[in-house]
Structure 1
Amino acid sequence: MPAPSRLTAARLTAARLTAALLIALLPAVVATAADPAKKPYRSGQQILDASPKGDWRTLDPDRTLYLELATGRVVIELAPQFAPAHVGNIKTFAHEHFWDGTSIYRSQDNFVVQFGDADGEDPAKAKSLGSAKTHLPAEFHRSAKGLDFQKFPDSDGWAKEIGFVDGFPAARDSANGKAWLAHCYGTLGAGRNNADDSSIGAELYVTIGQSPRQLDDNITVVGRVVKGMELLSVIPRGPDPMGFYEDAKLRTPIKSIRLASEVPAAERTPLELLRTDSQTFRDVAEAKRNRVDDFYKRPAGHIDLCNVPLPVRTPKG
């Protein structure tokens, strides 16, 4: 094969130099193509530690229940924006001390604990309902119009759209204009019989297991536990198949249930909740959606609605 001419050799040398230069510059080109403003990964706790005070809110005492057990206090936030009739009745029950001396009479593994008057189905033994209403409409869902729905980008097997409304995990169907609260860990719902309008808020349950999303839009959700789940989740399980205690001695006594607004200020539980319409909340959710740390080798790129953290803290000072 004949040797290349001087001109050809010069061209080859120039081409090699150009290729070498491009290879040397490639990392810088890639870095420039990436988001130049991309910030280093921060854990959820680091994000919370740096959050501004304005991203937190305090509980409204008139929308807060204190469930008092021998083991401590369970703090519940009510959701009148989704179930106004039921929440109104629940306030009446609390004001008239309906639940004092009742019990947690059901504890079903990986499902719920249920409480109220264990003899409520027996007219001869049932407690008086006082001035509470004895019939309410079902409040499984409401119009999505006017809600500050903080939509998540993640897909969901139970709803077309998911997100948060005022601190509550929620779902929405824009096609029919409906929205409802999701059954996540800590959800407070109104027990009912087969008829959809058979709940009045006297018998309540709290989800203590994997999120039973099949109940979404099938039962009236009236609130959620914001503090004290550890007191409910450890209650001994009742017998199969549904966890109702056959022996009344095994039930967990309820000392009282009160609205926080009817408890002296000095005896209230001071709490702050992260606003779900805040940038801090969005950042915390994203940090959990795409974890990048020493332990996680592959970011999920997805988060389940009921696995989104709902930070609660005790105010400093």
Structure 2
Amino acid sequence: MKKRGPVSQFIEHNFRHFNAAALMDAAKAYEKHLDEGGKMMITLAGAMSTAELGVSLAEMIRQDKVHIISCTGANLEEDLMNLVAHNHYKRIPNYRDLCPQDEWELLENGFNRVTDTCIPEEEAFRRLQKHIYKLWKEADAEGKRYFPHEYMYELIRSGVLEQYYQIDPKDSWMVAAAEKNLPIVVPGWEDSTMGNIFASYCIKGDLKPSVVKSGIEYMVWLADYYIKNSSGKGIGFFQIGGGIAGDFPICVVPMLYQDLEMENIPFWSYFCQISDSTTSYGSYSGAVPNEKITWGKLGIDTPKFVIESDATIVAPLIFAWILGQ
């Protein structure tokens, strides 16, 4: 039997009912999936990088407990922003008490608020901007094109950011991902700070939009990845939050089956969603997993779990179980 650390022992002893039991069941099924040779995709929505999920996610990547990530453009860049500007962040524990004037003053002082954490524009956004612009410009001059995450990987590997590091790089999931060359898909990258900055250069005629590969190209790449990796135990789907980070990649299965007529393509072989979105009218994030059966994403026998709670609490606990901590 696998040796368990104190966190795992605490979870197993205390988490017996309701969302706590769902957490325990999902963690055990995740582990079983890996033990039987399966792979796992993790999808990151919301502001998980600003919430410093990298503290636990980076180790999951290093220990091969996650094999591919789908994330928003914000999560892609905000992990690096925290890496290079952490000391300049401003935490506001009483954020619920802020009035419009308080919020305006934060903006005037160069802070963009994400719940209880304010990202410093000059030290975070602009610090990355000047370095990634050089990579975009070089690619443009050479007639080359790369995915958004590939530019970020090059930033990390080049060492140009090391002068700014303000946290231990072992707590950066992007650093761990770059070291592993972990596959990443970033749907809707245009909806991010770096995406907006890139668009501004295109509007000014300084860069061509084609320098950064598109979301359609991500889907084409993901289709090839899924075909090559879904045999045997298959690929599981661990969704943190809702939105495009999860909506985009999960659709690769019905696309392959229905649109490309690959009748033997397997369903996702595990599904878990951590969400505080309750079941509601028309909300994809609030849909129970069984609804995905009707869309050809999950099978009748696919292990399915929903944990209705705060992902900043739940995800590190599940990762701790997987890592035996």
Query: Which is helix-richer, 1 or 2?
Result: 2
Q: TM-score, normalised by structure 2?
A: 0.26
Which structure's residues are more often strand, by fraction? 1
Q: Which structure has the greater CA radius of gyration?
A: 1
